[in-house]
Structure 1
Amino acid sequence: LPICGFIVVGSLPEQFFPPADRDQVNIELELNAHASLAETRQTIETIRQVVMEHPQVKGIEWFLGESAPQFYYNIVAKRENASNYAQALVQLNTAEGGEALIHELQRQLDQKVPHSRVLVRQLEQGPPFDAPIEVRLFGPDLHQLSESGDELRTILSQTTNVLHHKAELADPLPKLTLKIDEEQARLAGLDHAEISHQLNAALEGSLGGSILEETEELPVRIRVPQARRGSINEIASLQLISSIKTADGQPQFVPLTAIAEVKMSSEVAAISHFNGERMNEVQAYLKAGVLPAEALAEFQAKLKQAGFELPPGYRLEWGGEASKRDDAIGNLLANVGVLMVLMVATLVLSFASFRVAALVGTVGILSIGLGLGMLWLFGFPFGFMAIVGSMGLAGVAINDAIVVLAELRANPEARKGNRVVVRDVVLRSTRHVVATSLTTVAGFAPLVIAGGGFWPPLAITIAGGVGGATLLALYYIPSAYILVMCRQCPLRATATEPVEADRETTLFEKLKDRLPVLR
């Protein structure tokens, strides 16, 4: 059975960071990089109406232009002063049916606001990451990075359960450019610095004072109306003040079109760097309840099938859930070597025997296989909590083996390999071993009964392993003790004393007599 447990663990789905069992949902809204606050606010009102139509929703709070405050430990505020972004916290009446509601909201919002990227996301356990699947492309040329990112997005769009995807270099910003006629500008008495200063004052505004509202001082910015700032034709008709005065000393106005050609162009919204290297990060968001490891495996298979390759001088790096998972496992296993040395040293010094310490160690290893087998039997994925449970199980499961071995070593006849005496010693230890194991299993039962995705994998792993370790202590330890410790003992084959007929009963029959629950 322990070996079967190690075999089936390869077929378990991987979910290192399960969703949180909370009655809250996180919504993120992102429009095009050039979207205004007014457009974002209008989209928010549309989303609010759709969300509040569901009776399961108790309320919704929006944060416009910035991330929400940190209301959960791994929700990190990472956006501010972003006119195209908003985040909402949706409060539900109950946590039951949350995943079904998320699927329904996502479907409705994708239809209602197709011009934006809306993510209805579950709150999850584990370290924070922006997207479940992240691919980082590094290289010197932005154009090549953008093209490679577009190729990855095309393949992501063909991957099952991928909801939305984006690339940092794929969302350009509109840019107003001026081609200045140098001769006309000189005749008008304007240079580049003066033209730039007057346009900035007209479009962005200049501070003209402040007003006091209760205890807060608010700046007053003066600029041309929004209607004139939002049209390229209106901008081209702006009047600039020339440094040349009229005959009566009045300022002279010059239209912008008289000294420059106004046109629109685009530029990259942001150029990201990672460890000093230019980077284009491609992110993919998955449907609620989908395991990131499965989606990532499918995406990697499609990448290989499509023959995706980067030019020389460019490289690819994985981020997202996979990167955080590797970091978490690395941190978890960092001190395993030291703990193993301390455990082995404690056992060897306690029993003054390497062979006895090895017997106890095999029980700890075999119990992990039993715990993983129970994880497979109950249908839970293999993840971070299962690993924690396995590490804790190795230390808890050896207690029964230590009790039985201590009793065997304390009896002189058992140390000689007398099977009858060994059997009696084990029977005397059975009550203590079974009682401690049952209390341990019962202690983890509430975590399993409560359900959810966080605690049950840990509880199932420890409870199943401890229950199996009891059988190992009662059956495997006595047999292995005789084989390992009495190889040269003449009593290995037969007992030294005659065996009465009433003592020829099997160990299982003795257990049945002592434990009514086994009858």
Structure 2
Amino acid sequence: NFREGIHIRETEKEVAKIEDYLRKKEGVTLIASAIGGGHPRFLLTYSVPVEAANQYSSILVSVKDYKMIDKMLPGIQKDLESMFPDACINVKKFNLGPATGGKIQLRINGTDPEVLRELAEKAMKIFREEGAKAVRSEWGEKIKVPVPILAEDRAMALGITRPMVAQAIEANFSGTTTGVYREGVNLIPIIARAPYAERDTIEDLSEIQIYSPMARKYIPIMQVLNGVKTEWETARLARWHRRLMLKVHADPRGAELPAELMERVKPKIEEALGVDLAAYRGKPLGKDEKWTAKTIPIKYDDAIPIKGKPGYFIAWGGELEDSADAQKQLAANIPIYFGMMILIVIFMFNAFRQPLIIWLTVPLAIIGVTVGLLLLKQPFGFMALLGLMSLSGMLIKNAIVLIDQIDINIRSGMDRFNAIVESGVSRMQPVMMAALTTMMGMIPLFKDAFFVSMAVTIVFGLGFATGLTLIFVPVLYATFFKIK
């Protein structure tokens, strides 16, 4: 985003400078720019960015090798920020999914636009101090607007109303649609407006002619105006649930995760904006309690009141809000289906101890999942949670195979201790092979930006848990059934 109010032709010139810079970067193969909006949907998972204005531009860059992207991003971000200090630059990987804006978002609701801007400035200052990039508000900066001052008495005498003045000015500068031209299946509007030389500057306003019903002729528009004043106004306003809303966006720099940036900025912003903690959760901050990111948990479509400002609320949005909503939806149904899984295992063994042993092996996966996500720097989001749920089914299957073999050996007359040892040895190969084939099938998804967190969860969780299951299940079986 360039400065608010810039002409689209000026945006085009600035984008040309960025394209020249990018062409000189090693590894860049193709560049595609969209000015004034986003690119057309060329991929099913791609959504057109919601920003659309003269100052907005979206540039897609293709490189020789995807492995180069992570190394190139910080340098390009730094260079473009120094080249265009008055622009909002956000260099990031191509997003396979909805264009939701910044990774971290803050919604501020209220009634007075000036108060909302004041609160947003405090939040954006903290974001910048904590090293966030592309910090911006959806309203943007105020722009200068010329406002004609209507001389009510002279206008009434000439039979001219305020809408007539507005229509005359619009027809001169913006133009009016006089017809439609059909070209194949496309309908192209025909717009009539004054020549460029007569609408180039605000001084051309004095040359506009407006029709007077009382005088029955065209007269200079300045006869019904007391002049033109310049005012600052907000070009775009947004609402949330029919309440005036200003949304602040921010993104983490480099390899930092959104959750890590949120951990630092969330408590500072909540305190700076004066969140009424007592009204929100029913009790104020304790004497020994420190305000942290977990003091107020992120909820979907939340409304956190601001102290001393009735009718003003804030709420956190972005990826973390979407993740909280997805987890809430899953949490409503997970107990039902996990309960059904437990009952099925109980009916299968017609006992309680074997199902208990099986379900005690499921938490072992958390060890591998934690190691994998930390090692590959992946967030525990919706896709990771989906992978963890799938992983639980795989581990239950492995435990069932092992315990069922132990029961079969005992029923065949084998010594109970030897039955446990023999089942572990005989079932090790099929269990390990089944886990290995599943892991090998998921490893190619490490390169996929959308499924990588799910793949990491399954591969590392299954790998760790399978090895531990072959030890943990026999030990628990011997413990529960008192076998020595």
- TM-score category (smaller protein): 0.7 to 0.9
- Identity rate of aligned residues, in percent? 22
1:235 to 2:235 alignment: no
Distance 1:445 1:282 in 2: 42
* Mapping 1:47-58, distance limit 5 Å: 47-58=18-29
Call closer, same or farther: CA 1:257–1:237 in 2, change over 3 Å. farther
1:287 to 2:253 alignment: yes
Call closer, same or farther: CA 1:139–1:423 in 2, change over 3 Å. same
> In structure 1, what is the equivalent of residue 281 of structure 2?
none
> In structure 2, what is the equivalent of residue 20 of structure 1?
none
SS of 1:87's partner is strand
Call closer, same or farther: CA 1:370–1:438 in 2, change over 3 Å. farther
Please, which of 101, 124, 129 is the counterpart of residue 158 of structure 1? 129
1:110 to 2:110 alignment: no
Call closer, same or farther: CA 1:138–1:39 in 2, change over 3 Å. same
> In structure 1, what is the equivalent of residue 7 of structure 2?
36
Q: How far off is 1:71 after superposition? A: 3.4
Q: How far off is 1:100 after superposition? A: 2.1
> In structure 1, what is the equivalent of residue 334 of structure 2?
336
Distance 1:222 1:373 in 2: 65
Under a length normalisation based on structure 2, what TM-score does the superposition of the two structures give? 0.81
Under a length normalisation based on structure 1, what TM-score does the superposition of the two structures give? 0.76
SS of 1:335's partner is helix
1:476 to 2:446 alignment: no
Please, which of 57, 65, 70 is the counterpart of residue 94 of structure 1? 65
Distance 1:239 1:473 in 2: 87
Call closer, same or farther: CA 1:176–1:61 in 2, change over 3 Å. same
> In structure 1, what is the equivalent of residue 425 of structure 2?
430
> In structure 2, what is the equivalent of residue 399 of structure 1?
397
Call closer, same or farther: CA 1:333–1:478 in 2, change over 3 Å. same
Distance 1:163 1:85 in 2: 17
> In structure 1, what is the equivalent of residue 297 of structure 2?
none
SS of 1:221's partner is strand
> In structure 2, what is the equivalent of residue 510 of structure 1?
none
Residue by residue, what CA displacement relative to the aligned partner does 1:489-513 show, whole Å, maximum 9, x if unpaired?
xxx56xxxxxxxxxxxxxxxxxxxx
SS of 1:399's partner is helix
Q: Which moved more, 1:335-344 or 1:439-448?
A: 439-448
**Residue type matched to 1:165 in 2?**
V
Q: How far off is 1:198 after superposition? A: 2.5
**Residue type matched to 1:97 in 2?**
M
> In structure 1, what is the equivalent of residue 190 of structure 2?
220
1:129 to 2:100 alignment: yes
* Mapping 1:42-441, distance limit 5 Å: 42-79=13-50, 82-124=53-95, 128-160=99-131, 162-185=132-155, 190-208=160-178, 216=186, 218-242=188-212, 251=217, 253-254=219-220, 256=222, 259-303=225-269, 306=272, 308-309=274-275, 310=306, 311-365=309-363, 367-372=364-369, 374-375=371-372, 378-384=375-381, 385-412=383-410, 421-441=416-436
RMSD of aligned residue pairs (Cα, Å): 3.2
8 Å Cα contact 1:408-1:422 kept in structure 2: no
Call closer, same or farther: CA 1:271–1:380 in 2, change over 3 Å. closer
Name the count of aligned residue pairs.
450
Distance 2:30 2:475 in 1: 64
SS of 2:67's partner is coil
Distance 1:193 1:435 in 2: 81
Q: How far off is 1:108 after superposition? A: 2.5
SS of 2:73's partner is helix
Q: Which moved more, 1:291-300 or 1:69-78?
A: 69-78
Q: Which moved more, 1:304-313 or 1:96-105?
A: 304-313
> In structure 2, what is the equivalent of residue 500 of structure 1?
none
8 Å Cα contact 1:61-1:88 kept in structure 2: yes
**Residue type matched to 2:69 in 1?**
G
Call closer, same or farther: CA 1:327–1:82 in 2, change over 3 Å. same
Distance 2:335 2:170 in 1: 63
Residue by residue, what CA displacement relative to the aligned partner does 1:77-125 show, whole Å, maximum 9, x if unpaired?
2548633323232222221211222222222222333333232221245
Residue by residue, what CA displacement relative to the aligned partner does 1:47-96 show, whole Å, maximum 9, x if unpaired?
22112222322122222322212234554225486333232322222212
Q: Which moved more, 1:56-65 or 1:448-457?
A: 448-457
Call closer, same or farther: CA 1:255–1:469 in 2, change over 3 Å. closer
Structure 2: gaps of 5 or more residues: 276-305
Distance 1:256 1:174 in 2: 21
Residue by residue, what CA displacement relative to the aligned partner does 1:332-389 show, whole Å, maximum 9, x if unpaired?
4443212211111111111111122111111223x22332354268454342344333
Higher relative contact order (CA 8 A, sep 6+): 1
Distance 1:480 1:414 in 2: 21
SS of 1:220's partner is strand
Call closer, same or farther: CA 1:355–1:176 in 2, change over 3 Å. same
Residue by residue, what CA displacement relative to the aligned partner does 1:258-315 show, whole Å, maximum 9, x if unpaired?
7421111122212211112111111113334331111111112432564744323311
Call closer, same or farther: CA 1:426–1:74 in 2, change over 3 Å. same
Residue by residue, what CA displacement relative to the aligned partner does 1:443-469 show, whole Å, maximum 9, x if unpaired?
414644775466565455444444444
Call closer, same or farther: CA 1:215–1:369 in 2, change over 3 Å. closer
Distance 1:284 1:470 in 2: 41
